[in-house]
Every structure is written in C-alpha cells, then in structure tokens.
Structure 1
Amino acid sequence: MTTDTTPRGTRPSSFGVTHPLDMLTAEEISAAREILVRHGKVGPATRFPRVLPVEPDKRAVLSHTPGADDFDRSVLVTLLDTATGRVGEAEVSVTGGAVTSWRDLPTGEHPYGQPPYLLEEYGRAAEIVKADPRWQAAMARRGITDTAHTFVAPLAPGYFPREGETGRRMIRSLTFHRRHEGDNPWAHPVEGLVAHVDLTAGEVTRLDDEGDVPVPLDDWNYKHTGPARTTLKPLEITQPEGPSFTVDGTLVRWEDWSLRVGFNAQEGLVLNEIAFRDGDEDRPVIYRASVPEMVVPYGDPAAPRYWISYFDAGEYALGKNANSLKLGCDCLGEITYFDAVVADDNGDPMPIPHAVCMHEEDYGILWKHTEPGEASQVRRSRRLVLSYFATIGNYDYGFFWYFYLDGSIQMEAKATGIVFAGAAEPWTENPHAPEIAPGIIGPVHQHIFCARLDMSVDGPENSVEEENLVGIPTGPRNPYGNAFTYERVPLSRESEAVRDADSEAGRRWYVTSAHRRNAVGRPTAYQLTPMAGPRLMAQPGSSAGDRAAFARHHLWVTAHDPAERFPAGDFPNQHAGDGIGRWVQADRALTDTDVVLWHTFGPTHIPRPEDWPVMPVDYSGFWLKPHGFLDANPALDLPDGSAGGHSGHGGTGGSADGRCH
C-alpha cells in the first residue's frame, strides 16, 4: 500500500515551485495522490479523470514577493470508481499535506454530468463493442469479417435522456474500418452503425444499424503520396545572437512584454500576469488568459451524427492530449520549449515534453513613411509566439498567442487534421453533408472556441464599453452627406453584456481602467476586436443549444468569480446544461470591478474536396489592442530596419547593422 510521505507544512520550493502561478510539478501530483491514498479515497478501481491546479487567490498572487516560500499549493482532483461509477472531488493541499475539502458528485441526479473520459476508456469501449455479437453480425453483413484492425471511435454521447442511459457513464461509438496496420481508418466509415456503451457495466446497451451503404475502400493514405516535390529551396531562420527574450522559471520577458506561462490538463496553455512596460513601469493588461473550452456541434440530422457536439476540453481534456512539439516541424527558428506534467488515469505524473513552444517571428512592416526628397523611414514588426497543439481524435488544434511591439495581442486558433467522414452512395446530394470524395461525405459542423480573458487594465477595477459606428442622415447635422461618427455605450450589468459582433457597425468592445487616465484625459483602455463568424447554429432548446450556451453569443462579460472557470461548466459530459448562461442570471454589476470577458469565435465548416484526405489549416481568432492605454506609438524607438538582418548573399537585403538601403 502506498503511504503518504509528504510532511505537513512542506514548502513549495521542495516541489520545485517558486511562484504561486507555477505549473503543477510531478512531485505535487505524486504528493496529491499519496495524500488521497492515506485518507482512504483510492481503491483498486479508482481512476483520476481530472487533476488540475487550484487557482491561488488573486490577492495572494499580487502580494507575492520574489523568494517568498510560504504560499499554499493545492490540487483539485476528480476521482472515478470505475466499478460503481461513483464520482468524488477533492481539494488537496500538498503543502499542508491534507485533504481540505471533499464532495460526492451527484452524477445520477438532474442535471447529471460526468468527468472527462479516461485514456483507458477508449480502448475499453472498443473491446466492448467488438465483443458484441450484434456488431460482429452488422460488420459481416457488410462483407467485413476481419476486424482485427477496425477502429471503433469512442465519442461523447451528448445529453439525450433515454431510459437506461441517463445518469450512467455512457459513450457512443462509430466504426471506421482499418484494413491493415497503418491504414487511414477515417477513409472507410461504416455508415449507419452506432454502438451505445455503458462503460461501468461493460456492455453495449443498444446497437443502431441503419442502411446498407457500402463501406468506401479507396486508398486515401495521406502520409505516403509518392515522391516529395523538390522545387522548394531552403529557407533558413537564424538568430546568430540568440533570441531577444529571457526566461526565469515560468516568467518570460520580451521587449516591453512580461508574462507567466502556465499549463493544465483541461485548458492547456494559460498565460498569467500579462503586462506591458511603459517607461520604468510594468503596467498590467490581463491577469489570466486561456481558451478553456470549445464545442464542435454537427449539423447533420442523420442517426449516426445528430447527437454529436464534442466539448474538447470538458469531455476529452485538451491539455492532457497535447503534442510534444518538434523543431523544424511545429516550430521554426530559435526555440524555447516549456515542458508540462499532467496526471495519467491512475493519478501518477505523465510528462509532456516540449508541450509549449516559444519563439520570435519577423512580421513585415510595423510602420513606414516617406516624405518627398527624404529617405523612407521603415520599422519592421516582430512578434513573440507562444503555442501548443492538441489532438482530439480526427482533429488537431493549434492555439497561438502573439505579442507585438506596438502593444497588441492576437489569439489565433488553427484547426487541421482529418474531416470526420460518413459514407453515401456516390453522387448523392445531401444538404447537410456534401460529398468530398467518391462515396465519402463530410457533415457540416462548427468549431466554436471560447476564450476567457480575466482583464486587469491598469489594475483589477475595470469597466466595459461597446462601440458602434453610426451613420448620420443627410440634413442639418450632415449637410454634405459625408459625416459619420461613433458612439460608446457602457455595459453596466451582466444582462446588458451578452452581445454579438456586427461587422456593419464595426462593433468593438473596450475594457477601461477605473482610475488611470491618458494624456488626453480618457480612461486607459484595451480594445477587443472580434473576427466575427457565425454563432451556434443549433436551435434554442436543442441539446447542443442548452449545453453550449456560451456559443450562442460572441461576447459575455461577468464579474470575476474564481469558481467560474469553464464556460460550459466543470463537467459538460452528459450534462443537461450549465455554465455561463446560468451565471449571468445573477445580473451582477460590471462597473469599476474585476471583470472577465468570454469571447467566442471559430469557423463553420462546410467540407470541400480540398479538405480531403487531410485538411489544410483553418484560421480563426481575435485581437486585443491598446486604445488610449499608451500616450503615443510605443515602437518609435525601434532601429531602422530592426528585424532586417542581412540577405546572406550581399544583395539588396538589409545590411549587417540592420539599416535599410
């Protein structure tokens, strides 16, 4: 039996921690498990579907002094008894050596909910399905008897209260036939076959088998398509003097920016205490930024797909599925990596080497002007990039945060991977699933991300305003017909701050400081500029509409509450619906207080042949820009041609001293 070796009153430094916002370490994860064992919370069937850092109190973080070693480090642990399906949640202080809270989660009662899936449950679901005689008969009817390599795709079932399913740990499985080891299973969907699996009971509760569409068997191996092209010449990215950033633990400084890098199993990359240096002052901009949830609802009403609406963070754990990034493939240039550690299904540390990549990129021209008879003045832009990639089944998602020399921040989500395909008779017209290859259909769907921006523009007391462009009818106020203006409206309460983008009105939102003014007497501010896309297409009252309420609007603003961390709630898996739609019913005041912006964005995907058999990256995101935060362009002091370097061939590139010719 494992015993607790963590002494009470252990200092954070003994776990390799020097700051309250540091990522969880392997030692802390091990200590949390050992404490739970000592308290009798871990048995042979206990698994750990969710292990997250407890967010430290803001006041304690902001008052922390370098070198102090007296703060608490706690871990939030969800425990699942796979034999009974019972679920509990513990808060464990690893510095205090104690379980500080425990609650049994009522997963068998409305509104239900289940923890994220275990990695081991994917294999278990496949074994259960393949052992079912009904599934074997359905495959044989389609002429497939060798199923040794057949892939049974385990999928979150959504929330559709059915007798025998509600309140139980369910998973639905579609089938994709892999003909041999290394084959692309997504190219061979077994249409109409859905297995409904009770993971606790270890049985298929129902098997749906509709239609006799042939299984597409064309070879779509995207990894080996013949000889690689030889026409691309080498493109070298070098920084002979090294990068311009410095790293101290998780603290990053680059030019005027400073921030702390975090990572956890559910959200993945988290950026903390983002500040911009103005003169000799580090001015806060964002306390905490992450993309804690995304939903992928499908718009095909066919039986194999109407229920699909993945919550890739809350159901599958984005961070736990992060890739180990590789130089020359995922990142180019002078790279610094951050390793991460999450917990595996047994609650033991699971390292993810090179989980986060950081580097600099040239980004073209930042500003330029030419006066007649004078040399052009040009300054090149550069950006700091922090990124990670996660693979969830058939899709791969990249999350990229860019920091610019002019004080702007950009968030970009990259969706790639393989379209989740179905099968149909060739040349069949389907308004919900266009044919993307002979006999292969790609159902319409959305990827709706939700960013959580815990703002702190010149401090935690902020307000939010909405700006719209306003045309003025020709008349006394507009005698020449050319005039237009803008208006800003305060969003004073949560009920007023449920908003949608409007490209015709140039709609933007401003987070303003309660106390600081700029040189022209206005409150200092940062501006959220959306890259507007469609909102959730699922209808109000539908399962996806209720469970992904955050995706029904582009912007929500809430008063800060540390318990409100995930926009679809803590446990969206098989949940009737929770999260931000419920929180805003409190209608809290938003003036001169600690505010959180929740911004939804992402592509609506109508698949095309060019997306097959592997999809080029689809980009989406948003910008945060200083608007009166600074008194002038902060990039006036850049050297002429600051990112230029020399061409390497003595030609017409920038000179060795970085000046333009």
Structure 2
Amino acid sequence: MLNWRLSWPNPALCFILAGLAVGDYSQFTKFTQKYFKEGINDAIVPQAPLMDRLLTATKVFTGFSYPQEYASPWDPLSQSEMRLAALVVRAYNSSSNWQFKCIGIVEVNKTLVLPYYLSGTNPPPGLVPRIVTVLIADPIKRLPISVIVNLSSMQVEKWTEAEPDQKVSVITIEDKASASEIALEDPNVRLRLGTLGYLDTKNVITDTWDGGYVADNPKYAKATKLIQVFLYGVDSNYFAHPIGFVVYVDLGPNVVLGIENLPIHEGFDTNNRTGESVPRQGAPYYPEDVPLGTIRTDLKPLTITQKDGPSFLIEGRKITWQNFQFRVGYNPREGPHIYTVTYNDNGKVRALFYRLSISEVFLQYGDPRPPYHRKSPFEMGNSEFGSSIDELLEKQFCRGDARYFQSDHHNEAAETWVVPRSICIVEEDAGLSWVHYDRTLDKMAVSRAQRLSLSFLSTIGNAEYWVSWRFYTDATVEFAIKMVGILSTNLLAVDVKAPPYGNLMQPQVYAQDYYHYFALRIDADIDGVDNTVSVEDIVSVEPPNNPYGNGIKLNATVFNTAGESPSDINPATARFWRISNPNKLQPLNEKPSSWKLIPRGQLNQNFLTANSPLRERARWTDHSTWVLPYNPDQIFAGGLFLDSGLANWTYGNPNADIENTDVVIWHVARSVHVPDVEDWPVFSSDEGLTGLRLRPSNFLKNNPAVTDPPASETTAGDGEGPGETGWGPLNPNPHLTGWNSSK
C-alpha cells in the first residue's frame, strides 16, 4: 500500500497515479503540462510551487473547485467532489479495481460550527475542511473498507478494513444486475423455468433482495455477498405472474448457492408442487394498459395556484419560511435530511435541531414459512434511500409554486450523474389551523393552516416511500412517510386459498402481511446544546386527592443515563417525550423551555417476538425511543455495516450521561400492512400514516398561529359571501334575534 503523504512530493509518481486514477495518463499529462506551461487558468499561478500547481490542476481536471464548490459545510457532495474522492482513493491504493459502494460527506464537527449555528449565521469559507467518507470493496473478496478522504488537502486520513464478519450491506445497481444475470444463466434455473413454460429468460423479470437472515443455513452464512432473486413473468405488472421458487446468488465467486421452492399450499411443505403453474391473468395499472373506458372522466380538475409566488426564500441550500430557517443536506444512504433548524422569536434566533433525518428502515414480512422469513431487508442500509431517489415530475407530485433541488449520484466506477428535481419544496394547505365562533358577539374567526413541505420519493423494488418534513405556522415540525406502490407477491397453486399470513389478490397471486420500522434521528439543541429528555404519561390522580375520580396529571420520568432511556409507546397514557433545556425557563410559568416528541401512526407493538433470531439483526427495533450523548460517528441506527449499532451503543455504555448535555434522540416509528383486495393492483396511501410531531412546549409566549392571516387571504373564495372573509358576523344568531331557519 502506498502512503499518500510520502508519495505526494514526488511529481512524477503523482502524475502516474493520478493518470491511472482517471484512466488516461496521456490526457492527464497533457492537461497538467498545458496549465503548468501556459498558466491560462486563473486558479493556477505559474509562479507557485510545482506541487501547488499540481494540486490545483488535479482538482480542475476532476471539475472540483474548492472552496467555491459549496456554499456551506453542510452542503452535500457534488459530482466533481465524488470523482476527486475516488481519484485520491485509487492513487493511495491501486492494488484492486475498487468498487465504490458509497461516497458521502462526513458529518461536520459540531464544535467547529456551533457558534454560527446557534446565531443563525454562515461559517466563514475554509473554516471546515471538506472530509469525505468512501465505502469501497474488492470485487472478489467483497470485504468492505471505509476510507476517510480530505478533499482540501487531497489526502487519505484513515483506511479501515472491516472485520471478517462484517460485510458490505449496500446493494448497488451493479449488484442487482449481476445477481439477476447469474441467476438467469444458471442451467438449473433455466431447466426449472422451462418446465413452467419459460424457455426464453427474456420473458422473465427478476426482483432482487438482500439475503436476509442466514444463520440457519451455514452455506448462506459463509457467502461473500448473498442476494435473493425472486422471479416473475414479463408484463407491465409482472407481480401478477409470480414464479414458485427463489434463487440465492453469492456475489464475489458469482455463483448460484441454492434454488429453493416457495410453499404454494397453505402449510410449510415446499415439496408439494401439485397445481403449480404461473398465473397468466394480468393486472394492469398504467393508463395506456387498462381497458378502454375505465379511466374516470367525471372528475373535475383541482387547480392550485400561488399568483404572488411562494412565501419561502431559498439561498443556496438554506431555506427561510415563517420564522423557521434550516438547510437541506443529502447523502446516498439517508437521502435528504435537515440541518441547523432555528426559529426567529420576535427577532431572537433560537436553536432547535442541529440535524433531523430518517436513519434506517427495516422491513419484515410476516409469513413464518421458510424461506419467506428471509424477506427482511434494510431499505436504507441495503438499497439506500438517496441512491434510490426518483425525479419528481413537475405538477404531479408537488402542486403549487414548487421549487426543487437536484441530487448527485455515482456508480461503482465512480462515474457520476445528476437526478434533477429530486427534492421538492412547496407550500401546502393543511386544513383548519384554528377557528372560533363567539355566539355572544356573533363573530367567527377562521385560520387555515399552511405548511412548508420538503419531500422526496424513493423507489425500492415494488415499493415507493414518499418522505416529508413539514413545518407549520404554529411552529410544529412534522415527519410523515407514506408507503405506496405495488405489493410484493408470491405464487399459490391452482384453487388454493391464501394462508393466514396474507391475502389473495387474484387467482394464485398471494400478498403477505408485512411491517415496517422507521428509525428517526433527532439531534436536538433546544435553546442550546445542553438538553434533558423525559418520558411523560397522563395518569389518574391517586386517592385521596381525587374524590370524584376525574382528576388527571402528568407524570414525568427524566432519563439520567443512556441505559435508562429505552422506552416504548403507550397509547393508554397518551405517552410522549419531552426535550427540554433546564437552563432556560419560560418567563410566565418558569418551566423549562422544551419541545414535545409526539408519535403518530398506528402505534402498533413490535411483532418480532422477544426470542426471535430475526430480531438480532435489528436490535434497535426493541424500543420506541432511545437517547444517547451526541456522537458525530453515530448516524445510522443499524450501524455502518448493519450490526445493530444503536443497541450496541446504548448497552455498551449504559452509564453514559444524558442529562443536561448534548443529546440525540432516536425514535422508532412502526407500521403494519395487512393487504386487502382493494390494495391491488396498486395500493394507495394513508395520509400521515407513520411519523411524529415535534411541538413547542413552554418555549414561546403564545400560539404563533394567532397572527396567521384570515382564511380567505390564503385560500380560495372572493371574500364577498357570508363568513368568507374569515372574520366577522355570520348568519343572524337565532338565540339573539329570533331568526328562524324555516323562513
């Protein structure tokens, strides 16, 4: 292995390494010689030392211009930065044709930027070095290597090879294509397909999944990179044509490790193949594929316009809207996330949240019959929300005067591209904010809620995830995730009824029950970094202070250490969590300035039993809420290599102090889906089905939504009809004037 710091002063070696890294030594040499000789680029000073000129030329060659490349240290990596990071890695170690699994920005050292964040100002350029984390793997060994690259100095700062039992969790586009090709070229797979009428594999579609739980199969457990390949017949909706076996492919040696029958009858027996055939009935959903005359024609268009434009302001990746200010970040694994949320309280900028993100998603199917127990992917650790992000078609996803951010991407060769309009920022009508009709004064006041939504869509296999962070004028911050798409289906034999673990969508097409876990990471800084978290329940007042049995009160339990913090939802007590700053008191009631974390959604239990071996893969799902001291290296709930990081961090240091200090709250939201026939061929979304709300509590002087404009000024209506103005008299009050509705 070459040492970059030792090799860098050698110009000839640098030319060779950089030339090899970009794949064209002659072009690179000509390029650098041209700029060294002519000095025509403003960035390159001819009189500067040779190595300074070489540094600049290399950056220019990859398209990177530091520090003008980004406006703040929280900005995501650009395409040129990704290419430059790959160049540095290849030059540092050229012993393999490295696969670049993930290239992302390293979290900024909070201590460096804290004064600027707390004051709502931008750090000066160059204060924070541009540090990149690169996850690579050898194409044969497939063992992951984590590399830390300093783009400012073009140096590798850390090279960490994973432990033997740690494997690359990311499944790239190339991995999926390779696994599919290996499966369909296998002679035994072809033979099985032929017996089912598929003589040409061009008529077969593959659906690739992570290998899932493999401890029960030594052969699979020893695999370098195990991929499950489910098979379907070609169609615009191929999930209507499931095939009754699954293929297990090991990437690295690139071989098929196993072909397993799927149970096609009600029991666990996979050898009973009576009535096995691939269903041929279609289930179209594309408008051009559905029968003529079935598309509705009596639904009138609903038009949303903002004639005066949006109310928000975008500067770079910083957004200002209705007292809120925050920045939009992005990385391949999590996708878009939120940085440095502050609130302008009558001219005083107050810190709220340093970072808000969805950290991991775990999906488990509920059919207990092997091999279905292996349908248990980590949607972020395996497929990556950011890498799976979709382009949002204008006027179809975000209605109104929307604005968009793009996202930059790379493949395993570190070739880059852009997905335009991948992150949407738009204002939305959110129904009533508040209303009151005073019958004595015969006056009504109406205010409709407006919110600012930052949303994106990630497609992973059969499912779409519509993820939104929402900001309201009453200072509420909300996270909501909608799950839409197509059900993952499997085969049933002819005339077989669905087992009790799912439902029949159409003859022979079986959709299983499944459930999700969403880990949300909340780096809270309520009025500063020193915060305390408590869990709070509404309970009945104990006797003898409750003589009529109607009394209720709030019980608060403060978490002192990380080991005390794992706690669970409790709908029976309307449980919520409070993030407070004990050093800042509300002037009126002298209670700590705080925000509530309120769960939203189905609030179901953890369906993985306590002794389930499948649960070992995702111990962070054990509880609804965890609290840990701030650590910039603890970003992903499942750990970098999906080794149950959150649980390990908590139980590994249970006495860690989390009271009146810089803390991170992890909240695990859950949902379960029991498919109905109405979910076929596509399933619709429940609004705000899963998520949470963050609401101020003893933080402000009153409800900031009281200053919202009257309803007619923000919604449709000409303001001339009774009550349309949002303020003033309505129809005469019958109790005051004797008005009779029958007249």
RCO (CA 8 Å, sep 6+): is it higher in 1 or 2?
1
Structure 2 partner of 1:87: 144
Alignment of 1:463-478 (within 5 A): 463-472=532-541, 475-478=543-546
Q: Indicate the residue corresponding to 2:182 in structure 1.
A: 128
Opposite residue 708 of structure 2, the aligned amino acid is L
Q: Which residue of 2 is the match for residue 139 of structure 1?
A: 193
SS across alignment from 1:568: coil
Moved more, 507-516 or 295-304: 295-304
Contact 2:130/2:150, CA 8 A, preserved across alignment: yes
Partner Cα distance (1:658, 1:73) in 2: 53
Q: Does the 8 Å contact 1:24/1:342 carry over to 2? A: no
TM-score, with length taken from structure 1: 0.93
Higher helix content, 1 or 2 = 2
Matched, 1:555 2:617: no
- Kindly provide the CA deviation profile for residues 311-367 of structure 1, in whole angstroms up to 9, marking residues without a partner as x: 010011111000011122111110000111122221232312111100001122212
Give the unaligned 5+ runs of structure 2. Answer: 1-19, 23-27, 29-53, 262-269, 731-743
Question: Which of 249, 259, 266 is equivalent to 1:207?
Answer: 259
Q: Name 2:249's counterpart in structure 1.
A: 197
Q: How does 1:165-314 map to 2 (within 5 A)?
A: 165-179=220-234, 182-191=235-244, 193-209=245-261, 210=270, 211-212=272-273, 213-223=276-286, 224-226=289-291, 227=293, 228-314=295-381
- The Cα shift of 1:203 comes to 0.9
Report how far residue 641 of structure 1 moved.
2.5
| 1:189 aligned partner, one-letter code | P
Structure 1 residues 9 and 118: alpha-carbon distance in aligned structure 2, compared to 1, 3 A threshold: closer
CA 1:378/1:651 → structure 2, altered by over 3 Å: closer, same or farther?
closer
**The structure with more radius of gyration:** 2
In the TM superposition, what are the counterparts of 1:21-36 in structure 2 within 5 Å? 21-36=74-89
Partner residue in 1 for 2:599: 530
Corresponding residue of 2:112: 60
- Work out the CA distance in 2 between the residues paired with 1:651 and 1:439: 57
Q: Which residue of 2 aligns with 1:150?
A: 204
Distance (Å, rounded) in 1 between the aligned partners of 2:729 and 2:150 = 57
Query: Deviation of residue 658 (structure 1)?
Result: 9.9
TM, length-normalised to structure 2: 0.83
Match of 2:411 in 1: 344
1:97 aligns with 2:154: yes
Deviation at 1:168, TM superposition (A): 3.2
Q: Which amino acid aligns with 1:205?
A: L
Alignment of 1:486-525 (within 5 A): 486-519=554-587, 520-525=589-594
1:373 aligns with 2:429: no
2:137 corresponds to 1:77: no
- AA of the residue aligned to 1:431: P
Aligned residues with identical type, % of pairs: 27
- Looking at structure 1, the residues matched to 198 and 317 of structure 2 have their Cα atoms a distance apart, in angstroms, of 53
The Cα offsets for residues 145-174 of structure 1, whole Å up to 9 and x where unpaired, read as 232131122110123133343353333334
In structure 2, the partner of 1:457 is 526
Between the aligned partners of 1:169 and 1:6, the Cα distance in structure 2 is: 38
1:395-449 per-position Cα deviation (integer Å, ceiling 9, x unaligned): 1001111100011111100001111111213351411122222211111111111
Task: Give secondary structure in 2 for the equivalent of 1:617.
Answer: coil
Counterparts of 2:170 and 2:457, CA distance in 1: 19
CA-to-partner distance for each residue in 1:493-522, whole Å, 9 max, x for gaps? 112110111111111110001321102101
Distance in 1, Cα, partners of 2:189 & 2:637:
37
Does the 8 Å contact 1:343/1:349 carry over to 2? Answer: yes
3-state SS of 1:616 partner:
coil
Unpaired runs of 5+ residues, structure 1, are: none
Task: Provide closer, same or farther for how the CA distance between residues 75 and 42 of structure 1 changes in structure 2, counting only shifts above 3 A.
Answer: farther
Q: Does 1:583 align with 2:649?
A: yes
What is the number of equivalent residue pairs in this alignment? 648
Whether the 8 Å CA contact 1:341–1:349 is kept in 2: the answer is yes
- Alignment partner of 1:431 is 2:497: no
Residue 116 of structure 1 aligns to which amino acid in structure 2?
V
Letter in 1 for 2:75: D
2:258 match: secondary structure: strand
Kept in 2, the 8 Å contact 1:427–1:435? The answer is no
| Alignment partner, residue 738 of structure 2 | none
Against the structure 1 CA distance between its residues 524 and 152, is the aligned structure 2 distance closer, same or farther, given a 3 Å change threshold?
A: same
Residue 643 of structure 1 and its aligned partner are, at CA, apart by 4.5
Counterpart of 1:364, as a letter, is: G
Q: Give the Cα–Cα distance (whole angstroms) in 1 for the partners of residues 356 and 169 of structure 2.
A: 24
1:652 CA drift (Å): 6.6
User: Given the alignment of the two structures, is residue 627 of structure 1 paired with residue 697 of structure 2, yes or no?
Assistant: yes
- Per residue, is there more strand in 1 or in 2? 1
What's the counterpart of residue 49 of structure 1? 101
In structure 2, the residue matched to 1:564 is 634
Aligned-partner residue type, residue 459 of structure 1: G
Question: Cα deviation per residue 1:261-296 (whole Å; 9 max; x = unaligned)?
Answer: 111100011100111110111211111000011000
Q: Which runs of 4+ in 1 moved over 6 A?
A: 8-12, 648-653, 657-661
Deviations 1:537-573 (A, max 9, x none): 222343420111112211111111111111111112x
SS in 2 for 1:360: strand
C-alpha contact (below 8 Å) 1:383/1:403 kept by paired residues: yes
Q: Classify the secondary structure of the residue corresponding to 2:714.
A: coil
Q: CA RMSD in A?
A: 2.3
Distance 2:278 2:101 in 1: 35
For residue 169 of structure 2, what is the aligned residue in structure 1? 115
